[in-house]
């Protein structure tokens, strides 16, 4: 039962339980309340496309308010000043003043949310392509995350020699009780502003009812920003079909004016071949997930 072949065909939420490194004693398996999985499977989200190219999708009710609170509670004791992940390791930078907490993917609720994200990704992820450890980010008054992209400028190499990158991002607003603090994409024009509308801002307001707004950069109207609303999420694609990073997805967490904003980063990873050409460094059956 504990072979990789079995793992590949199992739903994502069970894969962790069966990994070769985990204890296969059934008694040691942490079980989730039935409600966690049933609410997970029968998700209630709806979607609206903000931009087709690059692809940016607004997701209403990606989590329930209860799930959002439970996710925050799960990471509560692990918040640390935020770092960024670079080619040379983790770094503290002035441009990111929030605090962050990792969320263990083995927690049933976290697995549930990752399963939801995997289902959303449809056929774009293979069963062996996994998610980075999800991350909570918390901002208090004045805290922000300056313009950045979520993908690495060059693909990362896993311990098997495989190249990987963050193909897409979900940013989920888990607590939106704040002023300002929008997630801002200066290079993404919402579709309605490119239509021949006499007042694209009014049209945007009408379409998204205040959830999605025109942004402003150096005094000029530019791009799009998303208001933190508990349970809602923004999804976008970072890496194009050729495996190259799309700089148009540059974005920022604007400074929070007051109150508190908590978000959750979910980063699906895709593989982009092997570091040393096409040859795997290890035999295929020895490959373990990262």
Ligand X SMILES: O=C(O)CCC(=O)C(=O)O
In this chain, which of 75, 130, 150, 170 binds ligand X, going by CB under 6 A? Answer: 150
Tokens of 79: 């918040």
Q: Does 187 bind Fe ion (CB under 5 A)?
A: no
Count of residues near ligand X by CB under 6 A: 9
| DSSP β-ladder status, 84-86 and 89-91 | antiparallel
Q: How far apart are CA 68 and CA 112, in angstroms?
A: 12
Q: Which is nearer to Fe ion, 105 or 263 (CB)?
A: 263
In this chain, which of 137, 172, 237, 266 binds ligand X, going by CB under 6 A? Answer: 137
CB of 84 to Fe ion, least distance (A): 9
Q: Which of 249, 269, 213, 267 is nearest to 54 (CA)?
A: 249
β partners of residue 80? 100
Q: Does 145 bind ligand X (CB under 6 A)?
A: yes
Q: How far apart are CA 122 and CA 288, in angstroms?
A: 22
In this chain, which of 39, 183, 232, 238 binds ligand X, going by CB under 6 A? Answer: 183
CB of 183 to ligand X, least distance (A): 3
Cis peptide before 195 (omega within 30 of 0): no
Q: Which is nearer to Fe ion, 12 or 187 (CB)?
A: 187
In this chain, which of 17, 120, 171, 236 binds ligand X, going by CB under 6 A? Answer: 171
Q: Which is nearer to Fe ion, 147 or 229 (CB)?
A: 147
CB of 183 to Fe ion, least distance (A): 8
Q: Which is nearer to Fe ion, 67 or 150 (CB)?
A: 150
Q: Which of 34, 44, 168, 179 is nearest to 108 (CA)?
A: 34
> What 3-state class would DSSP assign to 210?
coil
Q: Does 253 bind ligand X (CB under 6 A)?
A: yes
Contact code string over 142-181 relative to Fe ion, x by CB under 5 A: --------x-------------------------------
Residue 114 phi, psi dihedral angles, 5° rounding: -65, -35
Q: Does 182 bind Fe ion (CB under 5 A)?
A: no
In this chain, which of 263, 269, 270, 271 binds ligand X, going by CB under 6 A? Answer: 263
Q: How far is CA 135 from CA 21, 51, 200, in A?
A: 23, 25, 35
Q: Which is nearer to ligand X, 7 or 97 (CB)?
A: 97
- Which among ligand X, Fe ion, none contacts residue 253 (Cβ within 5 to 8 A by kind)? ligand X
Largest CA distance in the chain: 65
Q: Which is nearer to ligand X, 116 or 251 (CB)?
A: 251
Q: How far apart are CA 236 and CA 224, in angstroms?
A: 13
Question: CB under 8 Å to 107, separation ≥6 — which residues?
Answer: 74
Q: Does 174 bind ligand X (CB under 6 A)?
A: no
CB of 233 to ligand X, least distance (A): 11
Q: How far is CA 121 from CA 7, 67, 127, 130, 168, in A?
A: 19, 20, 11, 12, 9
Do residues 108 and 14 lie in contact, with contact meaning Cβ atoms separated by under 8 Å?
A: no
CB of 233 to Fe ion, least distance (A): 13
Residues engaged in binding ligand X (CB under 6 A): 137, 145, 150, 171, 183, 251, 253, 263, 265
Which residues of the chain form contacts with Fe ion (CB under 5 A)? 150
């Amino acid at each position: 039962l504990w072979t990789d072949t079995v793992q590949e065909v199992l739903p994502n939420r069970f894969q962790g339980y069966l990994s070769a490194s985990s204890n296969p004693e059934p008694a040691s398996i942490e079980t989730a309340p039935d409600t966690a999985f049933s609410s997970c499977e029968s998700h209630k989200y709806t979607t609206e496309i903000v931009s087709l190219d690059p692809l940016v999708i607004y997701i209403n009710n990606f989590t329930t308010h209860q799930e959002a609170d439970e996710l925050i509670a799960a990471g509560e004791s692990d918040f640390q000043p935020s770092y960024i992940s670079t080619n040379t390791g983790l770094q503290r930078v002035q441009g990111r003043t929030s605090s962050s907490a990792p969320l263990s993917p083995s927690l049933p609720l976290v697995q549930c949310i990752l399963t939801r994200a995997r289902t959303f990704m449809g056929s774009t992820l293979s069963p062996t392509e996994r998610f980075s450890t999800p991350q909570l980010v918390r901002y208090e008054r004045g805290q922000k995350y300056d313009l950045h992209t979520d993908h690495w400028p060059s693909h990362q190499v896993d311990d098997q020699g495989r190249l990987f990158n963050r193909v897409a991002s979900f940013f989920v607003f888990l607590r939106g009780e704040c002023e300002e603090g929008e997630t801002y994409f200066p290079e993404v024009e919402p579709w309605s502003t490119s239509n021949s509308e006499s007042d694209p801002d009014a049209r945007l307001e009408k379409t998204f009812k205040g959830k999605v707004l025109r942004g402003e950069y150096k005094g000029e109207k530019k791009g799009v920003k998303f208001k933190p609303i508990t349970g809602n999420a923004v999804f976008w694609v970072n890496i194009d079909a050729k495996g190259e990073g799309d700089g148009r997805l540059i974005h920022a967490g604007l400074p929070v004016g007051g109150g508190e904003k908590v978000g959750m980063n979910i980063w699906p990873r895709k593989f982009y071949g092997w570091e040393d050409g096409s040859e795997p460094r290890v035999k295929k059956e020895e490959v373990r997930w990262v």
